[in-house]
Amino acid sequence: MLLTNGKKRIPIGYEDFKQLIDSGFYYVDKSMLIYELLHSGGQNNLITRPRRFGKSYAANMLAAYYSSACDSSELFSKFEIAHCESFDRYLNKYNVISVNMQEFLSQCTCIDDMIKLLERSVLWELLDVYGEVRYFDNTNLARSMQDIYMQKKCPFIVIIDEWDCIFREYKTDKAAQEKYLDFLRSFLKDKVYIHLAYMTGILPIKKYGTHSALNMFDEFSMIDPGPLAKYVGFTGEEVSELCGRYGMDMEEVKSWYDGYFFEPDISVYSPRSVVSCMRFGRIGNYWNQTETFEALKVYIEMNFEGLKDDVLSMIAGESIPVNTGSFTNDMTTFRNEDDVLTLLVHLGYLTYDYENRCVSIPNAEIREEYVNTVSVADWGEVSKALKNSADTLKAIWQMRPKQVAQGIKEAHFETSHLQYNDENALSYTISLALYAARNFYTMHRELAGGKGFADIVFIPRKKFPDKPAMVVELKWNKSAEGAISQIKNKEYCASLEEYKGDLLMVGINYNKKTREHTCIIEEYKK
């Protein structure tokens, strides 16, 4: 399905760059990746991103630019790279070998066969193009590439997509993994015929023992994307332009698909989700069209102490400290909670704050995946609370405080009793109990207003003007009446003076001795 009515179409599934451009699709210009690789990158580069993040498009663009087998000057003339001084210097000057490892792996039953098939396929093409070259051994790929280079003086650029599929499909086969790494090392490392090696996938390079053999690669991952941060994925500026072009609400799109923070000033969106949103003209969960929440469930149900509580805290909107240094870059070796969380960063289920060394759920789309997972898992009362959060929210709207208190009680998960000892912990529970509010509201913690800071303020998003704003004050071992009085006395509602709709004041208290929650709801009279 493609957009019509005079607008340029947005592609899904087209992996050939030239076909993409020639077909008249709207293309978000990522051509300056070429410049960045030329001037900031090294000879060997690995870019890792989650599924459907535009990795293949970027790889195909590089192949189209560098390949001597075609004339790409007109193809790139409309893009930013064409204005760079170095544009013509490297355009169509190289032999390009572009390989999708997944395609070869899917045709074979073992790693040995895959490597043989790949070598034979590349050799077949090379011998067809360079039949006149004198070969020392035309069955040896590396030696044949060296012979071509020495006689033709045209170096190679090697582009490998889905480089890590072996580690994802042969998760526990260490011998197969080592054979594959040995092949890549013999193919790429310290070879005079290689001008540039560019690999892309989900996982960084596997490191163990002597098989840290690809240590010549500069890695640009979800943990540390470096100068390549904005070239794989959509930036906020690019998404804003798309929203203007296709008539979508930027605020809504940002809430649903933003949140991969690479640098203080660079936030990246999932391209697949944004493109689908623009194509269909509606906000929705498009992540689960490429991967079900069952994939997430495997990891967040691992039996590491604290993992469950931290997942729930992140669903509630919190950030969790993490040490990414122990992760071995595979899908099976997990020594602690940090390794699990680090993998989830690479898979796109978490975003990593490099400066503060912590992780969080990036956006509403991904948070929904966590909620789906927890809702079907055996997580006791919290699963029930998430399922019933819409009823708890409705109870506030209908001013039924006893039902609200019951919903909060259900969200107070048993595993956290020892940590449940202050208003901050109570706020996490409220966030879970009112998870459904994220569908209608923007939530603000410690919002300045009047003579202090309101604990939690829910402001309806633009498309829901009929919903009441809510100012929530929390108390610990005091009273819900005291919470309401504080809202009034400190004039917290003053921060919402410009809001024209209804406004509710919600006071919530937790009695540590009785382990009971109480709630009072009052309408604010302007």
Residue whose token pair is 């067809």: 128
What are the two backbone dihedrals, phi and then psi, of residue 245, each rounded to the nearest 5 degrees?
-70, -40
Rounded to whole angstroms, how far apart are CA atoms 209 and 226?
26
CATH number of 380-523: 3.40.1350
Lowest average pLDDT, out of 4-18, 258-272, 294-308, 396-410, goes to 4-18
Task: Determine which of 114-118, 130-134, 308-312 has the lowest per-residue pLDDT on average.
Answer: 308-312
Q: What is the pLDDT of residue 5?
A: 34
Give pLDDT, residue 30.
92
Residue 21 to residue 8: CA distance in whole angstroms: 11
Q: Among 323, 349, 341, which residue's Cα sits nearest to residue 260?
A: 349
Place of tokens 């890792």: 48
Instruction: List, in order, residues 6 or more apart from 204 with CB less than 8 Å away.
Output: 46, 48, 219, 221, 223, 329, 346
Average confidence (pLDDT) over 119-138: 92
380-523 has the same fold as 31-226: no
User: Average of pLDDT values for 229-245?
Assistant: 91
Backbone angles phi, psi at 405, to 5 degrees: -60, -40
- Burial environment of residue 310 by CB neighbours within 10 A (0 to 12, 13 to 18, 19 or more): buried
pTM: 0.85
- What are the residue ranges of helices labelled H in 398-475? 401-411, 423-433
Does residue 41 carry a pLDDT above 90?
no
pLDDT at 451: 85
Q: What is the mean pLDDT of the chain?
A: 86
> In this structure, is the dihedral angle defined by the CA atoms of residues 142, 144, 147 and 149, taken in order, positive or negative?
negative
Please give the residue that has the higher pLDDT: either 2 or 165: 165
423 pLDDT above the threshold of 90? no
Three-state DSSP class for 486? helix
Rounded CA-CA distance 404/415 in Å is 21
Kindly state the average pLDDT of the residues 63-75.
88
Identify the residue with better confidence: 526 or 333: 333
- Strands 320-321 and 358-360 come out as antiparallel
**DSSP H or E run through 196:** strand 194-201
Higher pLDDT, 273 or 25: 273
Distance CA 488, CA 132 (A): 88
Q: Which CATH number fits domain 285-379: 1.10.10, 1.10.3470, 1.20.120, 2.40.50?
A: 1.10.10
pLDDT value, residue 207: 67
Q: Give me the pLDDT at residue 8, please.
A: 55
pLDDT at 211: 54
Domain residue limits, the chain = 31-226, 285-379, 380-523
* Backbone angles phi and psi of 130, in degrees to 5: -120, 55
Tokens of 485: 């009085």
Taking CB atoms within 8 Å and a gap of at least 24, the contacts of 316-320 are: 316/427, 316/428, 316/429, 316/431, 316/432, 316/435, 317/360, 317/361, 317/431, 317/443, 317/445, 318/360, 318/428, 319/353, 319/356, 319/358, 319/359, 319/360, 320/358, 320/359, 320/360
Q: What pLDDT, on the 0 to 100 scale, is given for residue 193?
A: 94
Top-level class of domain 31-226: alpha beta
pLDDT at 499: 79
